[in-house]
Structure 1
Amino acid sequence: MGRMKVALFCVYFVISVFGISEACKCAVRHPQTIICRSDFAIKAKILYEDPVDTLYTRYRVKVLQNFKSGYAPSRRNSRVWIKTASSSAACGVRFQKKSTYVIAGSRDRDGTLRANSCSLNRKVQDMTTFQLFALNKMGYQNNCNCEIRECPHNVCEAGQGCLSPYNNSDCYHRTALCRRSGSTCSWTPNAC
């Protein structure tokens, strides 16, 4: 009977760990796709951290720039809270105090701003010059009507939008945006 309990525990443990790790898998997505599908996108300085409980942490941030009009307090230097799952929890994200980030995420019905490991949470210093240019000049935001299609296993089926082969997606993610010109969308610049 003891072996059976141990075997059942091991099966339960493996399933539990698998479930947690599966919950945090994020699809490879271009920054433009993340910005377009997010409720808010801001450049913010992390002021302080407030652990809510074992699962959630809130961050008080100073908004330095607002990249999407769907985000309510658009005035510069406004202060808001961003709630995240703790970094030890599924899809948690952790910000460093006094650092400046570009953060994109969702907004709850009660107005709570949320970020997770699948949303855009990058230190400004880790972003490319092109990515910052595309954000500041509204390149990503003004081209949300263009679809970016990530191509797993490097198999890109012909169709509308901008195709991003998996083996070269980093180049497109770092140095290009999908821009509409007339009735078609294409990579600009097309250096990848």
Structure 2
Amino acid sequence: MELTWCSKWSTFTGCVLIWTCLLKIAQSCTCLPKHPQQHYCESDYAIRATVIDSHVVWPSADHIVRNGAVSLSSDVIHSAERAYKVIVSQVYKGDDIHRNQVMYLYTPYQEILCGIGHLDKGMQFLFMGSFDKMLGKHSFNLCNYHHKWSEVTPKQVEGLRHAYKNNCHVKIVTCGIDASCSNEQVELISVPLETTTWHSKDTEQHSVCQWDPWKGTCQLYEAICKKHHHTGHVYWDLSPDYELCQASLYPGVIDS
């Protein structure tokens, strides 16, 4: 069943709500929202994989057994991890990973420590995260990007295949939280930037792509931050579905 933009928006809103709740509940888990391109560029790996199984990895027996008795103290629980066994379908980043590889992805056991508590077996996801070379362990948590593959858009796939990697040198600035967004760039987002002549006294304004997580859902799914090969300006490269997304989420904002 194909997802509507409203259902995708609900998924994104849920993530923002989780992030907000975690800010209130536990200072140890503070995840500021990021664009998928930021996640990709900052991650050690990015893969499409299917969840096969999962289990809890507890600390060694020496840590659990104290004075001859089993102890599940807060220290023990905080050290525990959940290991997701997955089979890799596609590798978008990560030289140590290959297709059809069966591997484990580790996440904190406790959700208040940014752990991912439940992923359905048989479900395919896009995973991004970190790799500990010393331990040979691939990890991810709530602050990393993980998303159902069925909800990944063609524009995001374009980014995963080459565009994100080729544009990791450009900067995306998250605005609308600590700092306000520039109205000028927000307006320019909705026009075909490849044919737009930039007129601005403030060159710094066009050296970054602004992303407002409260209003930029369509940029999340349907835009890649790139540097214009002629002008050198940084801009949002929009998919053909961008305006459809905008019209679905913000009826009346875009003229028909």
- Same-fold call, TM cutoff 0.5: yes
Instruction: Quote the offset at 1:95 in angstroms.
Output: 2.0
1:104 is paired with a residue whose SS is strand
Give the whole-Å Cα distance in 2 for the aligned partners of 1:130 and 1:84: 28
Matching residue within 161, 164, 179 for 2:208: 161
Bigger drift between 144-153 and 99-108 goes to 144-153
Is residue 104 of structure 2 the alignment partner of residue 81 of structure 1? yes
Gaps of 5+ in 1: 1-16
1:59 is the counterpart of 2:84: yes
Task: Note the C-alpha offset of 1:167.
Answer: 3.8
Identify which of 42, 47, 69 aligns with 2:47: 42
Equivalent position of 2:176 in the other structure: 152
CA radius of gyration, larger in:
2
CA distance in 2: counterparts of 1:72 and 1:123, whole angstroms: 23
Aligned to 1:113: 138
TM-score, scaled to structure 2: 0.61
> 1:90, 1:73 → 2: CA distance?
26
- Paired residue for 1:130? 155
Q: 1:150/1:96 Cα in 2 relative to 1: closer, same or farther (>3 Å)?
A: same
Q: CA RMSD of the aligned region, Å?
A: 2.3
Shift in Å at residue 152 of structure 1? 2.2
Contact 2:26-2:112 at 8 Å conserved across structures: no
Give the Cα separation in 1 of the matches to 2:103 and 2:84.
Answer: 8
Cα deviation, 1:131-184, whole Å, max 9, x if unaligned, reads 23322x322122111111111246136352111234422121111000122333
Give 3-state SS (helix, strand or coil) of 2:210's partner. strand
Deviation at 1:24, TM superposition (A): 1.9
Give 2:169's aligned amino acid.
N
Q: CA 1:107–1:162 in structure 2 vs 1: closer, same or farther (change >3 Å)?
A: same
- Which structure: greater strand fraction? 1
User: What SS class does the counterpart of residue 101 from structure 1 fall into?
Assistant: strand
Q: Which residue of 2 aligns with 1:12?
A: none
Structure 1 Cα separation of the partners of residues 162 and 215 of structure 2:
24
Deviates more, 1:181-190 or 1:24-33: 181-190
Task: Report the counterpart of residue 32 of structure 2 in structure 1.
Answer: 27
- Is residue 193 of structure 2 the alignment partner of residue 188 of structure 1? no
For 2:97 and 2:126, how far apart are their aligned partners in 1? 16
Q: Secondary structure at the match of 2:115?
A: coil
5+ residue gaps in structure 2? 1-21, 59-76, 183-204, 247-256
What's 2:200 paired with? none
CA distance 1:25–1:155, change in 2 (3 Å): same
Q: 1:50 to 1:71 in 2, by over 3 A?
A: farther
Question: Any runs of at least 4 consecutive aligned residues in structure 1 with deviations exceeding 4 A, and if so which?
Answer: 17-20
Please say if 1:140 is aligned against 2:164. Answer: yes
Distance 1:73 1:89, change over 3 A: same
Partner of 1:174: 221
What secondary structure, in the 3-state scheme, does the structure 2 residue paired with 1:95 have? Answer: coil
Q: Which amino acid aligns with 1:92?
A: G
Verify the 8 A CA contact 1:150 1:169 in the aligned structure 2.
no
